[in-house]
Structure 1
């Protein structure tokens, strides 16, 4: 418990933590601004164009912001200690080493979950309140029908937080870990989208962006991701994104110097 308390104090005492958390929650304001803009364009359109108008799920699109923010925070939680040399003091106080990584995992996982739920649900509710029954009722359906997808999307945020932590512990490089995470979100999906089928859909189904809808069975035929995984397999892949780097880091932390 003392190690857990120590890691929590480290995270909350760093100025960058407050900035990153603020940027993550700013997703709600960004969602509100986009919803207001979309509502204004919809109201000015002709009835014919209104009937054909569609809008993407803003909470799903904007989840990229808290995902990357929390991934960066997870990376800094470990690479910052390596950069300053504080990791030597930490591992001297906790010579078994693995409790340090376990405590960081618990703190970042809990923080990522809170931020994920707040950002995703907050964006959904402001978009629902702003758009009403516009865009063929995209936000006018029952909330309970949308709940599973909102929960699954929220879970991608702590996944990124733990992915960043694991990559940071493995690479000991903030730039390297962030580059890999940015590639998972932006670069790799674009590359996969240009691969000839059926490999494009097969590999796309493994991307984090595809997993929430695969977990809930709520797939989009217009998505550039694949949709081949059953819910249980998609949930396992999402967990693997966080677990595999952390398990690798837990193995290495005993086998190399601080």
Structure 2
């Protein structure tokens, strides 16, 4: 408990934490603004255009904001200590070392899970209210039918945070870890989308943003991502994104100098 309290104090005392949280929750306002603009364009369209108009689930569009922000929070939770030298004090106080990263993972994971859930459900309910029965009833699907996908999408924010923490522990560099984080999450999927079949579908199914719908068993209407994984496999891949970097970072933390 002392380790958790210490890590919580460290994270909440850093100015960047508040800014990243505000930016993450700003995704709700972004989703509401997009919904309002889309509703206005729909209302101004001709009946023929309305009949074929469609809109993506906005919560799945704006989730990129809290994902990236909480990923950066995870990176800073460890790299800021290397930059200031505080890591030496932390490791001196905890000679076994692994509890340091475990406590950081617990605190960062809890913050990001709560933030992701608020962002995803807040965006969903606002978009549902604004869009109404427009766009062929995209937002008329019963909430309980959408709940598994929404919950899994919110969980990806926590995964990004732990991925960032693990990358930060591996690289010890804020810029380097953020670059790898962005590359893994957003750049690589663009290249995967250009690959020929069946590589496009198989590798696309492994991307983080493809996993929530595969976990809930809800197929994509139209997406660059694949959907070839069963729910259990999708859960395992999502867990691996979070656990493998953190475990690798823990091993290096124990076997190299601070």
Bucket of the pairwise TM-score, normalised by the shorter protein: over 0.9
Query: Any stretches of 5+ residues in structure 1 without a counterpart?
Result: none
Q: State the match for 1:55 in structure 2.
A: 55
Q: State the match for 1:222 in structure 2.
A: 222
Work out the CA distance in 1 between the residues paired with 2:143 and 2:220.
Answer: 19
Query: Any stretches of 5+ residues in structure 2 without a counterpart?
Result: none
Q: Deviations over 1:81-109 (max 9, x none)?
A: 00000000111111111111010010011
1:96 aligned onto 2:101 = no
Helix, strand or coil at the partner of 1:75: helix
Helix, strand or coil at the partner of 1:240: helix
**Scaled by the length of structure 2, what TM-score is found?**
0.99
Work out the CA distance in 2 between the residues paired with 1:32 and 1:129.
Answer: 9
1:202 aligned onto 2:176 = no
**What number of residue pairs does the alignment pair up?**
258
Work out the CA distance in 1 between the residues paired with 2:209 and 2:202.
Answer: 14
Helix, strand or coil at the partner of 1:253: helix
Q: State the match for 1:69 in structure 2.
A: 69
- What is the CA distance between 1:183 and its match in structure 2? 1.2
Moved over 3 A (4+): none
Q: State the match for 1:153 in structure 2.
A: 153
- What is the CA distance between 1:54 and its match in structure 2? 0.2
Listed as ranges, the matches of 1:38-187 within 5 Å are 38-187=38-187
Q: Is the 8 A contact 1:68 1:160 kept in 2?
A: yes
**Scaled by the length of structure 1, what TM-score is found?**
0.99
Work out the CA distance in 1 between the residues paired with 2:88 and 2:159.
Answer: 27
Q: State the match for 2:248 in structure 1.
A: 248
Q: Is the 8 A contact 1:75 1:167 kept in 2?
A: yes
Work out the CA distance in 2 between the residues paired with 1:194 and 1:234.
Answer: 22
- What is the CA distance between 1:184 and its match in structure 2? 2.1
Q: Deviations over 1:184-240 (max 9, x none)?
A: 232101101111111111111100010001101101152111110000000000000
Work out the CA distance in 1 between the residues paired with 2:126 and 2:181.
Answer: 28
Work out the CA distance in 1 between the residues paired with 2:60 and 2:222.
Answer: 14
Work out the CA distance in 2 between the residues paired with 1:196 and 1:190.
Answer: 13
